[in-house]
């Protein structure tokens, strides 16, 4: 799947390629090596097959080899309007005319029903990283009053939010939960003494359980959003809260099957590959930060035409099992409703002569002998609903499963024992 898919946006994509080919030493070299000629690219398929993907690790490596910005720059330093840094660290100069996602975020703010004059409490970091400042500017552009809370100092943050009667929270859901606990420790009633009504949740996964807890305790409506430090805002929820709509401004997004590298279809999981449209001081073309998304099928009841996605996890943890792409994060989410399960791992094997692979979900509990057939059936149903794959359930003592298994970044969660897999691949 690609988005947006209009001829006008594809024309912008070609103009971006020409700009990079004319001004960036990195893309001049890369395009020459791949025999890329922009004038020969007439459609998306030609673009996908000819233009190389830029992995996040390659961007970091190039900047280390040619500090501080690598070979990507299209303009001299005296043309820069601002400098940002993202984890890595990755150094990101911006032209004054680059809107840095501000207009995209302003539209997302409008979708959430936030009105001019509301007080917004921004709790993302303002220290070096661009997230807090980007959100701050977007809310100001939407006509809001902004408290630049940043991170930490939770008691002071609660006092500020209460004193200013902040009606909008913007930050991670886990920090909002921490503010909730802090308010209670201060003998405050969260619903009476805090005034949040809308939450802009971002920078980490908003689980259904945490959403329910926060909305119930605070009387707040949370909207899930996602983005990436280098490319900016990517998608956000509407009032229906059934997946995040892709934004349609300044990004050309591809979602590719992580194994076959073909465009993923609705209902499938695809790796994000993004191209920033327009003239940039440091352009990113077919940039792959390593994030995987499920593409939700069907139209949204809200009527918005933009496709919807749901964040799954990092691409490196994905495995194709019986033709289905499975990410341990999906299994983890399904298992949250079963407190008996303390650890888990997925084991794939295929006995000699057998036609099909066998997939076992090993579940670590304190008393495996006490686990019932009913519990096993309920878990199997929940997991199959989450990953569209039936797994055999095996209960074991939790000590038999490595402590790190089943936890992000899920590098040891899947043991692949299929023939032809190297020993090192069995515990990737």
What is the per-residue pLDDT across 343-364, written as a single tens digit (0 to 9) for each? 999 999 877 766 567 899 999 9
> At residue 428, does pLDDT exceed 60?
no
Q: If pLDDT is split at 50, 70 and 90, which confidence band does 15 have?
A: very high
CA distance 330 to 321: 14
Q: Is the pLDDT of residue 203 over 90?
A: no
pLDDT of residue 325: 75
What is residue 422's predicted lDDT score, i.e. its pLDDT? Answer: 38
149 pLDDT exceeds 50? yes
How high is the pLDDT of residue 425? 36
Please tell me the predicted confidence (pLDDT) of residue 427: 34
Tell me which DSSP letter residue 425 carries. Answer: G
Residue 55 has pLDDT above 70, yes or no: yes
270/247 Cα distance (integer angstroms) = 17
Condensed to tens digits (0 to 9), the pLDDT of residues 117-142 reads 999 999 998 887 788 999 999 999 99
> Nearest CA to 97 among 282, 280, 283, 285?
280
Task: Say if 261 falls within a structural domain.
Answer: no
Domain membership of residue 362 as a residue range: 319-427
The answer to whether position 107 is within a domain reads: no
CB 219 within 8 A of CB 167: no
**Confidence band, pLDDT 50/70/90 cuts, at residue 299:** very high
User: Would the pLDDT of 423 be above 60?
Assistant: no
What is the percentage of the chain residues whose pLDDT exceeds 70? Answer: 97
Q: In this structure, is residue 24 part of a structural domain?
A: no
Q: What are the angstrom distances between the C-alpha of 307 and each of 157, 206, 246, 303, 387?
A: 36, 19, 6, 11, 20
Closest by alpha carbon to 401, among 376, 426, 371, 364? 364
Does 86 score more than 90 pLDDT?
Answer: no
Residue 111 domain-assigned (yes or no): no
Q: How far apart are the first and last CA of the chain?
A: 28
Residue 375 has pLDDT above 70, yes or no: yes
Residue 377: inside a domain:
yes
DSSP 173: H
Residue 81, Cβ neighbours under 10 Å: how many? 12
d(CA 376, CA 299): 34
Residue 348 lies in a domain: yes
pLDDT band at 166 (very low <50, low <70, confident <90, very high): very high
Tell me which residue of 276, 303, 259 sits closest to 101, measured CA to CA: 276
Enclosing H/E stretch for 1: none
Taking phi over 0 as left and psi of -120 to 50 as alpha, with beta for the rest, 35 belongs to left
Half-sphere exposure in the Cβ direction for 408 (13 Å, CA): 9
227 sits in which H/E element:
strand 221-228
Share of the chain above pLDDT 90, in %: 75
Residue 311 tokens, joined: 């964040």
| Residue 236 maps to a domain | no
CATH number at residue 416: 3.30.300.30
Domain count, the chain: 1
Residues 131, 203: contact at Cβ < 8 Å?
Answer: yes
- Summarize the confidence of residues 171-193 as an average pLDDT: 96
Strand 308-314 with 287-288, pairing: unpaired
Q: Is 341 a domain residue?
A: yes
List % helix, strand, coil for the chain (3-state, nearest 5): 35, 25, 40
**H, E, C per residue of 68-102:** CCCCCCCCCHHHCCEEEEECCCEEEEECCCCCCCH
For the chain, the average pLDDT equals 91
Q: Quick one: tokens of 324?
A: 């289905």
- The reported pTM is 0.81
């Amino acid at each position: 799947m690609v988005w947006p898919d209009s001829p006008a946006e594809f024309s912008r994509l070609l103009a971006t390629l020409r700009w990079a080919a004319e001004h960036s030493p990195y893309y001049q070299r890369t395009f020459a090596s791949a025999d890329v000629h922009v004038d020969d690219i007439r459609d998306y398929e030609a673009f996908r097959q000819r233009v190389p993907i830029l992995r996040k690790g390659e961007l970091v490596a190039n900047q280390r080899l040619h500090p501080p910005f690598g070979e990507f720059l299209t303009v001299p330093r005296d043309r820069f309007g601002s400098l940002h840094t993202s984890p890595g660290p990755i150094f990101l100069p911006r032209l004054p005319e680059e809107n840095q996602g501000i207009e995209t975020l302003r539209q997302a703010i409008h979708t959430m029903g936030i009105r001019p004059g509301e007080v917004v409490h921004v709790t993302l970091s303002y220290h070096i990283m661009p997230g807090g400042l980007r959100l701050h500017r977007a809310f100001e552009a939407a006509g809001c009053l902004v408290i630049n809370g940043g991170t930490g100092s939770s008691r002071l943050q609660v006092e500020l939010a209460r004193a200013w009667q902040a009606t909008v929270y913007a930050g991670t859901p886990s920090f909002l939960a921490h503010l909730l606990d802090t308010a209670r420790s201060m003998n405050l009633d969260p619903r009476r003494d805090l005034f949040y009504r809308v939450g802009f949740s971002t920078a980490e996964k908003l689980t259904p359980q945490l959403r329910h807890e926060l909305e119930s305790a605070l009387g707040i409506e949370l909207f899930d959003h996602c983005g990436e430090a280098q490319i900016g805002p990517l998608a956000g929820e509407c009032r229906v809260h059934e997946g995040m709509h892709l934004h349609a401004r300044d990004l050309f997004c591809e979602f590719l099957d992580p194994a076959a590298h073909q465009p993923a279809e609705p209902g499938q999981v695809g790796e994000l590959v993004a191209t920033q449209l327009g003239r940039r001081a440091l352009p990113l073309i077919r940039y792959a930060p390593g994030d995987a998304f499920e593409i939700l099928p069907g139209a949204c009841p809200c009527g918005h035409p933009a496709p919807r996605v749901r964040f799954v996890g990092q691409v490196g943890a994905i495995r194709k099992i019986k033709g289905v792409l499975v990410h341990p994060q999906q299994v983890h989410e399904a298992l949250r409703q079963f407190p008996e399960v303390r650890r888990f791992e997925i084991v794939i094997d295929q006995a000699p002569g057998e036609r099909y692979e066998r997939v076992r979900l090993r579940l670590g509990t304190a008393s495996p002998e006490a686990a019932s057939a009913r519990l096993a059936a309920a878990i199997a149903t929940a997991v199959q609903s989450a990953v569209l794959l039936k797994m055999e359930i095996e209960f074991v003592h939790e000590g038999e499963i490595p402590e790190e298994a089943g936890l992000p970044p899920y590098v040891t969660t899947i043991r692949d024992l299929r023939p032809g897999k190297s020993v090192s691949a069995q515990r990737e």
